[in-house]
Amino acid sequence: MLKNILLVILLIFIFSCKKNISNEVEVYNNDFESGNLSNIDNGILSQFNGTSVLGNYNNGSFALTVSNLPKHDLVEISFDLYIHDSWDGNKTAPDGPDIWEMLVDGNPYINTSFSNSACGVGVFCSPQSYPLDYPNNYNNPKVGAYRTDLPGFCELITNPNGTTLYKIEKIIRHSNKALILQCLDKLVQTDSADPKCDESWSIDNIKIKAITL
């Protein structure tokens, strides 16, 4: 009974918000195919699976600044997040945890872990926090993924874990004329000769909308 009541309240809230949206403007859209890294600090481009991506990063970060936003009450941020190769999720030292974060104007909106383990009978699968926050959540590897069948990042390295694609979307309260989107990781590796081929991440198809209620 309680679940049904909560579901009704959630549906009312969602439809009320949609009715109250008076305007939404796309203020940023980048699929990186043109090589555009304007207003991105520490922006690097690579080719992955036949497309240009922002990354790949290992113990790295980027910061995107979007200026001159129109008057707004919310922003919607969406992008494709590729988790490449052998992320260890909530696993403790010496090979974890493997954390990924998203901040807007310095405030954290995602602080999670990813596990890209190849599970099987008799094989221990390190849990991940996503789609919830680290450290107090333990989900199976690749929960919430959009695709789990992509190749690893480095073609010359045989890595059975491959790449997992997550569709990230966040709507947050925001009214400043400028927005700074930061993404970063805290990856733990102890014996990798090539860290970027062992575990890394990249991003594609960033879209930001300014929404007026």
Per residue in 79-127, pLDDT (tens digit) is 999 999 999 999 987 788 999 999 999 999 999 999 997 776 566 788 9
CATH code of 150's domain: 2.60.120
| Lookup: tokens for 81 | 């997040």
Looking at residue 157, its pLDDT comes to: 54
60 domain-assigned: yes
186 domain-assigned: yes
| Lookup: tokens for 96 | 């974890």
* Range 149-161 average pLDDT: 76
The better pLDDT of the pair 187, 10 is held by: 187
11 domain-assigned: no
57 domain-assigned: yes
Looking at residue 189, its pLDDT comes to: 83
DSSP assignment of the chain: -HHHHHHHHHHHHHHHHHHH--EEEEEEEE-STT---TTEET--EEEETTEEEEEEESS-EEEEEE--PPS-SEEEEEEEEEEEE--BTT--TTS---EEEEEETTEEEEEEE-B----BTTB----B-TTS-SSS--B-TTTT-SEEEEPPS-TTS--TT-EEEEEEEEEEE---S-EEEEEEEE---SS-SSHHHHEEEEEEEEEEEEEE-
- Number of domains making up the chain: 1
* Range 150-166 average pLDDT: 81
| Lookup: tokens for 133 | 């926050």
179 domain-assigned: yes
* Range 122-142 average pLDDT: 89
**pTM (two decimals):** 0.87
pLDDT at 153 over 50: yes
18 domain-assigned: no
5 domain-assigned: no
Looking at residue 10, its pLDDT comes to: 46
* Range 50-70 average pLDDT: 97
- Determine the Cα–Cα distance for residues 79 and 65; give it in Å rounded to an integer: 15
User: Domain containing 54: what range?
Assistant: 23-212
45 domain-assigned: yes
pLDDT at 165 over 90: yes
pLDDT at 170 over 60: yes
Q: How many Cβ atoms sit within 10 Å of the Cβ of residue 1?
A: 5
Q: Could you give the percent of the chain with pLDDT greater than 90?
A: 72
pLDDT at 11 over 50: no
